[in-house]
Structure 1
Amino acid sequence: MGMAERRRSLGYSQEQLAELLGVDRTTIGRWESGRSTPQPPQRPGLAEALELSREELDALLTGPQRSSPEEVRRAPSNGPSAGEPDEMIRREFLRILTVSGALTALPIDDAEALKDGVRRGAPEDFARMNTHLWQVYQLARSKGAVYLLVRDQLTTLNDTLAGDTRGNSRPLLNAAADLLQLAGEVAFDANRYSDAAASYALAASVSKDAGAYDLWACALVRHAYVDMSERRYSQAAQILEAARTLAERGDSALSTRHWVASVQAEAYAGLRDLASCERAMDRAEEVTALPVGSVNGGWLRFDGSRLAEERGARYVQLGHLDLADEALKAALTQGALSSGQSFRRRGTVLADLAVIGAKRRDAEQVIEYGREALRLARASSSGYVARRLQALCGEVGPLRRDQRVADLGAEITALGTS
């Protein structure tokens, strides 16, 4: 039995089930046709509505769907959404992988190829353009605004790789691995997990072809975030251990290994391993001893400026609320005093402070920080902040009896399905 059959057996129309869950009817249509799947925060409510256990719901969603071709054809499409592949960008990913694999098989004279490439300026031009795109991505309130720029750059880079008969592959492959990671970031922020995972995997493959250990490690770190967003902390820890090994073979003057340690701390916190989490955070804080130039502002941006908020977020995961509250409020104050804290970054800290309020059963703290985080999530269209707010909805428990908290929860649910 598919999801549509289960819904009908319980007497729900798509509209009735959508209203019960606080989502749009088109979302139910996409779930039933298999064109997308519910996000983790939406699954408990869906399981309850369909009178299934979480395991039964997972089996229902991963098993073959029985929606008729007519249902699939009628399912409305409003452009790319969570879980739907963006075919244009996916084709660009696969073309880069195919072309890079062919190029690295060619017998080439690396020195002559690099000399020729520098004379023509192509690899350096791509590197400069990628750096510019990362800066645009960081500054953009809505990360999706960078999408078309990234797609156009991917197309241009593909054309250059395809026409490179001299075998000037390594600098171009570095540029491709860099750009694929940015494309993955855009997809991840929009909750398009399958596209993000595909781009990170391809970035790792291209980095391997280029022998670029730091780029390779960073691609794996970003892939681990996809697993952690779906609470697969054991899988994330495995990927991060591989990233740690690669980073140790990379450039010791870069902050790659320190970023790996910071993200390992998040995975360990998810596994409720306090000792390993704190050891990883201590390794991450060693980034402060690195010389200027340890980050490039693009595919590697970890400079230690977020250590306070990251430690606070880890303490939230582990349930050490007093330590978390102190670290996060310090991070919020530091951010308010500087102009460098993005909407996404500030919204994440606010969402974590709201979660602390929920765990303490403090409705005032939930409302104060949750409302502001919601405002920033709307202003930035950040799927990442929206996911953090959805985690808040799972923590409020008996506070739902407070109408203000209930209204906030409804607005967060609507944000996550828009």
Structure 2
Amino acid sequence: MAPKRNRLAKRRKALGYSQEEFANELGVAVSTVTRWEAGKTDPQGYVHPKLARFLKVTPEELADLLAPEVLAPDRSVVYAVTPPPGDTDDMKRRDVLSLLATTGALMALPGSDKPSPRSGVAASLTETGPELNSHLWKVFSLSDSKQAVYPIVRHQLGVLAKGLGENQSDASRQQLCTLVADLYQLAGEIFFDANRYADAAHCYTLAASASREAGAFDLWACALTRHAFVELYERRFAVAAPILAAASQVADRGDPRLSTRYWVAAVQAEVHAGLGDLDATKRALDSAEQVHTLSGQLHNGGWLRFDGSRLAEERGTCYLALGRPDLAERALTAALSQQLSLRRRGAVLAELAALGAERRDLDQAGHYTRAALELVGQTGSGYIGRKLQGVRKRLEPLVADGRASALHQEISALDSVV
């Protein structure tokens, strides 16, 4: 369930606005106001001054109204996720780096020959940690606004660091390292969705180190693959390639019943496409397709979620990068016909918009761009926004046409929002 913003709705009602009247004043759809108050999406940055003015509050008071109420994983406590005064992105980044350094240092310490205590943070974590981590991955997957999950994840990372600091056996430390590797991958996903790639890379690096300490090869390979994604989205394909080569070797030592090695191959296909190698791309995609030969529990829905259902859209992305619009459109259209999350649907729409721009079909480019922009407004996803930046680059040679210029400006407006 999405975290609601009851205080925002209460303030609106206190000033005598219906949702319809409030939406008209702000120049947004009624459904947008509904999603804000339901906690499903966050108001975009450029709307905040208007919001503060119409609600007759200061920017600081507005931040408090926008803080969602969150139900804790045990469903026992409801609390507001309100950032402390002056909690800027830079302060958050320093906080994360400090926690990373602390956790990394504690992981490097050897275990103890003494028996593990029967009580304490570490003992509790080994019992409840796997279930809680699984719960947080599910909340992340189901939430339209991925950032809403971060406060709980950050708290639990601090608890894990505290557990690592306790005296414990090698076996207990190995279990905690597995939990650390799992949850730091989730933290990295949250940062990645917000376009905070450096912070995501730091999280994935620690997750890889923790997985190595735990001897968890599939978990390790997934952390490396996510790290490669950062380089892929920065278009540093030559940097991503050796990371994925290492991930492939690690995955080969993992559980053959899991889909890990096939996910690595799917990401390798995108890197080969970025490097312009059509044959290597096809080989990697064909290898990834072998996931369909697996049976049983092939992923865990958390740090490993690959089941081959995204291969159509991934083929489309690869063929678009390789300048094969014929193959790309076939794959992307097939992907769009599937049941997709809002985030994935937005990414496919953006790729189809890019395809329209590549063909100089501005009607297609406009239709899909605006559909993707609508989903950015609903989700606040930097992932979709990043895809749309690729559309903007393809529109640049066409800006002499007023339609292309208008689309270019609409996408450019995202720079100050996601």
What is aligned with 1:44? Answer: none
Q: Give the whole-Å Cα distance in 2 for the aligned partners of 1:281 and 1:239.
A: 18
Match of 2:258 among 254, 257, 272: 254
1:307-340 Cα shifts (integer Å, max 9, x gaps): 11111111111111011101101110123xxxxx
SS of the residue 1:396 aligns to: helix
Letter in 2 for 1:137: F
8 Å Cα contact 1:93-1:180 kept in structure 2: no
What is aligned with 1:152? Answer: 155
8 Å Cα contact 1:85-1:194 kept in structure 2: no
Matched, 1:364 2:373: no
Correspondences of 1:19-30 after superposition (within 5 Å):
none
Matched, 1:373 2:372: yes
SS of the residue 1:86 aligns to: helix
Q: Give the whole-Å Cα distance in 1 for the aligned partners of 2:409 and 2:268.
A: 33
Correspondences of 1:40-55 after superposition (within 5 Å):
none
Matched, 1:79 2:78: no
8 Å Cα contact 1:387-1:416 kept in structure 2: no
Matched, 1:214 2:218: yes
SS of the residue 2:271 aligns to: helix
SS of the residue 1:401 aligns to: coil
Letter in 1 for 2:95: M
SS of the residue 1:395 aligns to: helix
Matched, 1:399 2:398: yes
8 Å Cα contact 1:180-1:202 kept in structure 2: yes
8 Å Cα contact 2:237-2:274 kept in structure 1: yes
Match of 1:282 among 286, 297, 304: 286
Match of 2:309 among 305, 309, 322: 305
Q: Give the whole-Å Cα distance in 2 for the aligned partners of 1:141 and 1:225.
A: 21
Cα distance change of structure 1 residues 262 and 183 upon mapping to structure 2, 3 Å threshold: same
Matched, 1:161 2:164: yes
8 Å Cα contact 2:111-2:173 kept in structure 1: no
Q: How far does residue 115 in structure 1 lie from its aligned partner after superposition? A: 10
Letter in 2 for 1:122: L
Q: Give the whole-Å Cα distance in 2 for the aligned partners of 1:78 and 1:231.
A: 31
Matched, 1:132 2:141: no
Q: Give the whole-Å Cα distance in 1 for the aligned partners of 2:307 and 2:392.
A: 32
Match of 1:269 among 270, 273, 277: 273
Work out the number of aligned pairs and report it: 333
TM-score (norm. length: structure 1): 0.75
TM-score (norm. length: structure 2): 0.75
Q: Give the whole-Å Cα distance in 2 for the aligned partners of 1:313 and 1:236.
A: 17
8 Å Cα contact 1:85-1:195 kept in structure 2: no
Q: Give the whole-Å Cα distance in 2 for the aligned partners of 1:78 and 1:398.
A: 41
Q: How far does residue 122 in structure 1 lie from its aligned partner after superposition? A: 2.7
Identity of aligned residues (%): 48
Q: How far does residue 238 in structure 1 lie from its aligned partner after superposition? A: 0.6
Q: Give the whole-Å Cα distance in 1 for the aligned partners of 2:168 and 2:216.
A: 22
Q: How far does residue 85 in structure 1 lie from its aligned partner after superposition? A: 6.5
Q: How far does residue 342 in structure 1 lie from its aligned partner after superposition? A: 1.4
What is aligned with 1:100? Answer: 107
1:249-281 Cα shifts (integer Å, max 9, x gaps): 111111110000000000000000000010000
Letter in 1 for 2:289: E
- Could you list the runs of 5+ residues in structure 2 that have no partner in the other structure? 1-44, 47-85
Q: How far does residue 189 in structure 1 lie from its aligned partner after superposition? A: 1.0
Q: Give the whole-Å Cα distance in 1 for the aligned partners of 2:382 and 2:276.
A: 25
8 Å Cα contact 2:112-2:169 kept in structure 1: no
SS of the residue 2:360 aligns to: coil
What is aligned with 1:228? Answer: 232
